[in-house]
Amino acid sequence: MSAPSLLWRGAALVLLLLFITAPQLFAFAFEPLTVNGAPAIYNQGSLLSLTLSHLRIVFLATLASTILALGLGIFVTRPSGREFLPLSRSLVNIGQTFPPVAVLAIAVPLVGFGEKPTFIALFLYGLLPIFENTLTGLMEVSPQTLDAAKGMGMNPRQRLFQVELPLALPVILAGIRLSVIISLGTATIGSTVAAKGLGEVIIAGLQSNNVAFVLQGGLVVALLAVLIHDGLGMAERRVSAKLGRAADEVS
């Protein structure tokens, strides 16, 4: 990554940290957006704790999606699981075509308000990119490489862990990154069912007609997305450079 772009990322990180820890410092920038002396900075809770809750649920949901999608992707590319490939593909795709709001609406009566329905929605939404990329990554491993691995006496387990997964890793990481980014945005709707997160700031802004609040919630989510996207992208480039592939081949 070039020096100026690194500088931009650094500046974005500092801005984000400063804003969520001491938002009052930025009141001057948001005041012009308020009317009738409404507060310029969100005052119904700590931005820091909302950000942490937001990240926590995104992290947990992505972790769960990764475990299931990766496991499923590995299973359906083994000889014993190959017949389930079409079925698992359509199931995961259905998960994706269901709107998140509908998932919430169905989940709330079943598991109640709070983090649980949000977790379910994020989890379902995170599956597809990771699953598809796991399949792509594993199926792209050259048959020659696999033939050589088998010919040298690697058993199926050794082939998976020593050859297939390391070679598929950049593509799998790209899937995880996509999934995290989708979840960061989607998690804001969790606040409609009382999950703690940055959606609260946006909703509070919409309810009180306060554009400054809406903008603050959106800004923090956007900065998080940019920074996490970059961080994971850097990890992918590291892995794929070692494989002698151009990074753009991966994403």
Partner 1 sequence: MIEIEHLSKRYAETIVVDDVSLRMDEGTITVVVGTSGAGKSTLLRMINRLVEPSEGRVLIDGQDTMAIPEDQLRHRIGYVIQGYGLFPHRNVAENIATVPRLLGWDKRQIAARVDELLDLFQLDPAEFANKFPHELSGGQQQRVGVARALAAKPAVLLMDEPFGALDPVIRSKAQDDLVAIQRRLGTTVVLVTHDMNEAFQLGDRIAVMDQARLLQYATPAELLTRPAEAFVEQLVGTAERPFRLLSLLKVREAIEPGPAEGEPVSVTDTLRDALSRLIWTGREALPVADASGALVGRVSVKGIVAHGRSAP
Is residue 139 near partner 1 by the rule CB under 8 A?
no
Span 152-181, contacts to partner 1 by CB under 8 A: 152-155, 158, 163, 166-167
The Cβ of residue 123 has, within 10 Å, a number of other Cβ atoms equal to 22
* CB of 228 closer than 8 Å to CB of 180: yes
Q: Is 147 in the site for partner 1 (CB under 8 A)?
A: yes
**Of residues 4 and 151, the one with the C-beta less far from partner 1:** 151
CB of 158 to partner 1, least distance (A): 7
Closest distance of CB 174 from partner 1, Å: 16
Nearest CB to partner 1, comparing residues 96 and 158: 158
**DSSP 8-state code for residue 35:** -
> Which of 76, 122, 149, 221 contacts partner 1 by CB under 8 A?
149
The residue among 164 and 200 lying less far from partner 1, judged by its C-beta, is 164
* Residue 107: closest CA among 95, 97, 117: 117
Q: How far is the CB of 79 from partner 1 (least distance, A)?
A: 14
Q: What is the DSSP string of 69-119?
A: HHHHHHHHTSTTTGGGHHHHHHHHHHHHHS-HHHHHHHHHHHH-SSHHHHH
Distances (CA, A) of 46 to 19, 24, 106, 210: 11, 11, 30, 17
Contacts to partner 1 by CB under 8 A: 142, 144-155, 158, 163, 166-167, 242-244
